[in-house]
Amino acid sequence: MDKKMIETIRKMPKVELHRHLEGCISAELLLEIARDYNVKLPSHDLNELRSLIQVQGHTSSLREFLEKFYWVGMAFPTLEAVERVSYCVCRDCARDNIRALELRFSPVFMSMETSHRWEDLLHAVLKGARQAEKEFDIDVGFIIGISRSNGLKPALRVVDIAANYSGLGVVGIDLFGDEEAFPPELFTTAFKVAQENGLNITVHAGEGGGETNIKIAIEELGAQRIGHGIRISNDEEMMAWVRDKEIPLEICLTSNVQTQTVPDLQSHPVRKFYDYGIKISLNTDDPAISNITFSSELILAMENFNFTLDEIKGLMLDALDQSFLEDYRKEILRPKLERELANI
């Protein structure tokens, strides 16, 4: 791709819906936090740390990919550190010209090494993001994640806190983690409460597990969007069903290759989904773990799947339409983005 196009993509106003805050913590940031808060890491050498928390090539499965998160859990020793991490992640997104961002995180994961109260943790996360919103041209909404491996009890607590902070920076909930070992139906009770409370719902499904999980996520858990959903590509009937139900798929190309959700990039069904009329968004998932940026992912999509600049621009507006951000924020953002995109 020529340099001019790379610059165009970098400067283009962008919208991203599927990005894990924990997956945005680079070895540099983790080292800074470790230095400032006296956190002991297995190595304080940047390159060694990088090889511990960054995927090299690809992993053998989603489960092995998730093991890369282990040391990232040390990045939250105090609430001040939580706020700083949140600020840095939102700032870096703004520097990549992401204008509307949904950022997801797991309160269980972020308080694993400490005893942060979830309310305090959430306040710190929101404070960091609000500071970045003040300094940069970015709108951030948070999705609180339910970790599959933690079981139903914390899941109900996530729903409770998300409902209490809905409209106050929280825009929805998610179900993430080892899909093979913990299928979606284990969490039906929690998601029923979420639906009763009118929460927006996205669910990781059809990534580490089969297409039945996608059906259950939509029909029983009330998912309005699906994280990945790759497995419907095996099943024409399911593709038609997802298209007709207008359930958007949050696509993360590099992540899908690294977790071996697809055998290689060329086999990824993103173009097939798009041409079939399924709603999609393009996303990074865990950019620091995968060593990518949102811009580099968009370029990857253009280079490997022949997405044109106009199609990428259209996907940014589609992502905004699919976003769980509050309507008033979307109504302000849409004409602004339309105008800027038309001038590119």
The answer to the question of residue 209 lying near ligand HPA (CB under 6 A) is: no
Closer to ligand HPA by CB, 20 or 268: give it.
20
Q: How far is the CB of 204 from Zn ion (least distance, A)?
A: 6
The answer to the question of residue 174 lying near Zn ion (CB under 5 A) is: no
Please tell me whether residue 12 adopts helix, strand or coil conformation. Answer: coil
Q: How many residues bind Zn ion (CB under 5 A)?
A: 1
Closer to ligand HPA by CB, 263 or 277: give it.
263
Q: How far is the CB of 281 from Zn ion (least distance, A)?
A: 12
154's torsion region: left (phi>0), alpha (psi -120 to 50) or beta?
alpha
Q: Which does 23 bind (CB under 5 to 8 A by kind): ligand HPA, Zn ion, none?
A: ligand HPA
The answer to the question of residue 285 lying near ligand HPA (CB under 6 A) is: yes
Phi, psi of 19 (to 5 degrees): -150, 125
Scanning residues 255 to 274, which ones bind ligand HPA (CB under 6 A)?
Answer: 255
Scanning residues 63 to 82, which ones bind ligand HPA (CB under 6 A)?
Answer: 66
Write the DSSP assignment of 211-240 as a string of letters. HHHHHHHHHTS--SEEEE-GGGGG-HHHHH
207 flagged as catalytic: yes
Closer to ligand HPA by CB, 13 or 141: give it.
141
Taking CB under 5 A as the binding criterion, the range among 93-101, 133-141, 185-193, 283-291 that sits at the site for Zn ion is: 283-291
Q: How far is the CB of 147 from ligand HPA (least distance, A)?
A: 8
List Cα–Cα distances, 294 to 162, 164, 172, 183, 286, in angstroms: 27, 31, 22, 29, 10
Q: Which residue is nearest to Zn ion (CB)?
A: 285
Given 102, 179, 207, 250, which residue is catalytic?
207
Amino acid identity for residue 65 in this structure: F
d(CA 15, CA 73): 27
Phi, psi of 144 (to 5 degrees): -95, 130
Q: How far is the CB of 54 from ligand HPA (least distance, A)?
A: 14
75-101 in b/e form (b: 16+ CB < 10 A) is bbbebebbbbbbbbbbbbbbebbbbbb
Closer to Zn ion by CB, 179 or 285: give it.
285
Q: Which does 207 bind (CB under 5 to 8 A by kind): Zn ion, ligand HPA, none?
A: ligand HPA
Scanning residues 296 to 335, which ones bind ligand HPA (CB under 6 A)?
Answer: none
The answer to the question of residue 213 lying near ligand HPA (CB under 6 A) is: no
The answer to the question of residue 285 lying near Zn ion (CB under 5 A) is: yes
Phi, psi of 160 (to 5 degrees): -65, -50
Among 92, 96, 139, 286, binds ligand HPA (CB under 6 A): 286
**Residue 274: both structure tokens together:** 């798009």
Whether 248 and 225 have beta carbons less than 8 Å apart is answered as yes
Q: How many residues bind ligand HPA (CB under 6 A)?
A: 11
Closer to ligand HPA by CB, 256 or 295: give it.
256
Quote the Cα angle for 195-158-285, to 5°.
90
Measure the N-to-C terminal CA separation of the chain; round to a whole number of Å: 17
DSSP bridge partners of 63: none
The catalytic residues are 207
| Residues near Zn ion (CB under 5 A) | 285
Q: Which residues bind ligand HPA (CB under 6 A)?
A: 20, 23, 62, 66, 176-177, 204, 207, 255, 285-286
